[in-house]
Structure 1
């Protein structure tokens, strides 16, 4: 293999939202960083493309809310640097039966973290949203101010541009096949399928749905991250109601803690359409996906009919997009040193389990801290340790299994 020129402080493998944010954070600190992507930049094969992702504070796990608050601030900082908007703010609304374990944990987390919130009965929900949401009499709603929609492809492009402006080197169509220690002078060699070799003092792996495959190849580690094929669905708003569901009309991002777990965003990316999807998908090989849309079935149709009082056409989605989750058994991230022969010279960040995109800026900051300083501040990383799966293959055991277990649909 030929050595491909420059030496770098850090090589980042994978240029989705996490890798792009990490490259930006490292370049921002004045260090020389190389960002490698196995496909074209801004490709649609992974998890960091498309037209919308939600941002919300409401998590059953109380350790995510501070991360969201920091990430929200970092999104705005990046927007101010680049000069355009990728983060569109609107409130967030959760709903479900009051005895639902996940929803109860969400409310408890709001209380523990002093997050401003309101718990609404079905009548108050109708008044709050001028009849746009209709809840069963025995359901409750949870209203919080911090919500919004992020434009994924535009956001990844923004962080790549900001990294480039700060001196980062960006290279796409570089499939990494080997990561190994430089035994002679320390550091890490990163080798690609076309025979190129790059040297860095440190390395970061943010390979998304390819994380398990790549880590098994380069280190023998079998990380329990399961790629899931998921389908994003857009539904037609019935004529005359289009303005009611616009983000400019204050319509919120939303989540329904029911079976299945349903989420959605205001009408923003496609005129007259609203995004309503199911959290989950079916196991896949990221290199051999069928790309066939997941059939959502009757529960979603019925949910739309009942919650929107005929304002949304529930006959079926009018357009769909394919995406992938990278699921861990417990739904928590993996952010840690790879260890083994690599020690602290390789940091991995993956398994974002369908709720990571909003966290891109803060994960980038955390990973940059780890790779450059060996530690981070402001975030407790014990929940994201690699070693938790050695202690228990299921990872962190949670009381609200109804949300964690909903991600594996063999549809």
Structure 2
């Protein structure tokens, strides 16, 4: 089967791929979404039920991005009766000298101050008194920003999928891995096990499987792959509640010693609190090595930390899962958004989103990607993420 005259083919049907298709549909662009697995699958970076939305970041441009995402969350919320964001605030605490993949507490305070974002500072004792933690070192400090939220990520993806299914301009194809991309003059021919499709433009958004697609265009990106563990711990105190939080601590040998957590919410094991390690002991060589079974040592380190520093919880997890993530090897750069490199034919009509944690920006990134692929530009400043000229590598 050959289907012609698509305006855009989106490769990758996870959260951001569906958000991109949704915004393309609003512009009446004839769109095809190709997903290598099934929609709503748990095999990539869309795995799991919840995510954190936060405003604290060490860089001002990231704080601005979080603020710019809010109206797009509000817009998406109008499309569903299910609450997508449960606003509980964001707590960052720990050793003020520690720098991690999440940033640094002092740098985040500077960014929040520079942009006039309200937050409060906390001593270790105040963190214990107000947020149910215990036995924290005296030198630990914290910041609390009330705009943070727990994202019902499962409902977010379901809402986007439902909107795409209702839109006559959008076609959805699952179990359709891309096998070949052939430039044809100003067009592209995309081959999958189910057929060949013709399009004017490409939006490549396959999450951690990015290299399996862009390798077909003879370039790649350096990435590391984490099979991230996650666990749910039963509340022993039914009234206990936590905000979304992250603790900054120095590594102790194999123990990355950095953890994050969520509140209990009605839509995700309400009698449990989710706590997870923000490190992996052994990164994967490539995404197909992922497993749905968490590393037991990472879970044990998490249980030990809960035992030492949290209250109102059992210390052994009852539900566990994993999430696959590709992270850029570029220092302090999570997200890469750019056009394909100039040596790729018709490169100005290929937009790539690659690597990083971005669930918190899902509807906003959909808008940005749809702008770039249709118009070749966006009104939003993506210069901090437009790094392909430096970090996309020819094969």
TM-score greater than 0.5 by the shorter chain? yes
Alpha-carbon offset, residue 226 of structure 1: 2.6
Q: Note closer, same or farther for the CA distance 1:180–1:390 as it changes in structure 2 (3 Å cut).
A: closer
User: Residues of 2 paired with 1:389 and 1:31: CA distance?
Assistant: 30
Q: Deviations over 1:10-39 (max 9, x none)?
A: 110100011000000111112111111111
Which residue is 1:342 aligned to?
346
Measured in 1, the distance between the counterparts of 2:392 and 2:17 equals: 26
CA distance in 2, matches of 1:287, 1:332: 21
Task: For residues 80-113 of structure 1, give each alpha carbon's deviation from its aligned partner in whole angstroms, at most 9, with x where no partner exists.
Answer: 0233322222111000123334222222221222
Q: Where does residue 248 of structure 2 map in the other structure?
A: 257
In structure 2, the residue matched to 1:148 is 149
* Cα deviation digits, residues 299-340 of structure 1 (max 9, x gap): 43342223224x2222x3222012101111134211100132
Per the alignment, residue 176 of structure 1 pairs with: 178
Q: Which residue of 2 aligns with 1:39?
A: 37
Alignment length, in residue pairs? 373
The correspondence of residues 217-228 of structure 1 with structure 2, limited to 5 A, is: 218-228=216-226
Q: Is the 8 A contact 1:25 1:163 kept in 2?
A: no
The match for 2:308 among 306, 309, 313 is 306
- The 8 Å contact of residues 87 and 147 in structure 2, kept in 1 or not, is answered as yes
| Alignment check: 8 A CA contact 2:235 2:273 kept | yes
Can you list the C-alpha shifts for 1:248-290, whole angstroms capped at 9, x where unaligned? Answer: xxx3100001132211101121132111111133214322434
Q: Which residue is 1:117 aligned to?
A: 119
- What SS is found at the alignment partner of 2:105? helix
Corresponding residue of 1:399: none
Residue 190 of structure 1 corresponds to which residue in structure 2? Answer: 190
Q: Give the unaligned 5+ runs of structure 2.
A: 252-256
1:6 offset after TM fit, Å?
Answer: 4.4
Kept in 2: contact 1:125–1:134 (CA 8 A): no
Q: Cα offset for 1:347?
A: 0.5
Equivalent residue number for residue 162 of structure 2: 161
How does 1:9-408 map onto structure 2 within 5 Å? 9-101=7-99, 102-129=104-131, 131-132=132-133, 135-167=136-168, 168-183=170-185, 186-194=186-194, 196-216=195-215, 218-238=216-236, 241-245=237-241, 251-258=242-249, 259=251, 260-268=257-265, 269-281=268-280, 282-295=283-296, 296=298, 299-309=301-311, 311-314=312-315, 316-330=316-330, 331-339=333-341, 340-352=344-356, 355-389=357-391
CA change 1:227–1:99 in 2 (3 A) is closer
**Partner Cα distance (2:134, 2:73) in 1:** 29
Structure 1: 5+ residue runs without aligned partners? 246-250, 392-411
Judged with a 3 Å threshold, the aligned counterparts in structure 2 of structure 1 residues 134 and 342 are, in CA distance, closer, same or farther, namely farther
- 1:167-188 deviations in whole A, cap 9, x for unaligned? 21111111111122112xx222
Aligned Cα root-mean-square deviation (Å): 2.0
* 1:50 and 1:151 in contact (8 A); partners too: no
1:371 shift after superposition: 0.8
- Looking at structure 1, the residues matched to 30 and 221 of structure 2 have their Cα atoms a distance apart, in angstroms, of 29
TM-score (norm 2): 0.89
Distance in 1 between residues matched to 2:320 and 2:299, nearest whole Å:
14
CA distance in 2 between counterparts of 1:180 and 1:307 reads 55
SS at match of 2:7: strand
Bigger shift: 117-126 or 297-306? 297-306
Equivalent-residue separation in structure 1 for 2:276 and 2:285 (angstroms): 19
Shift of 1:121: 1.0
Q: Distance in 2 between matches of 1:193 and 1:334?
A: 29
Post-superposition CA distance 1:210-233 (Å, at most 9, x none): 1112211x1121211232211111
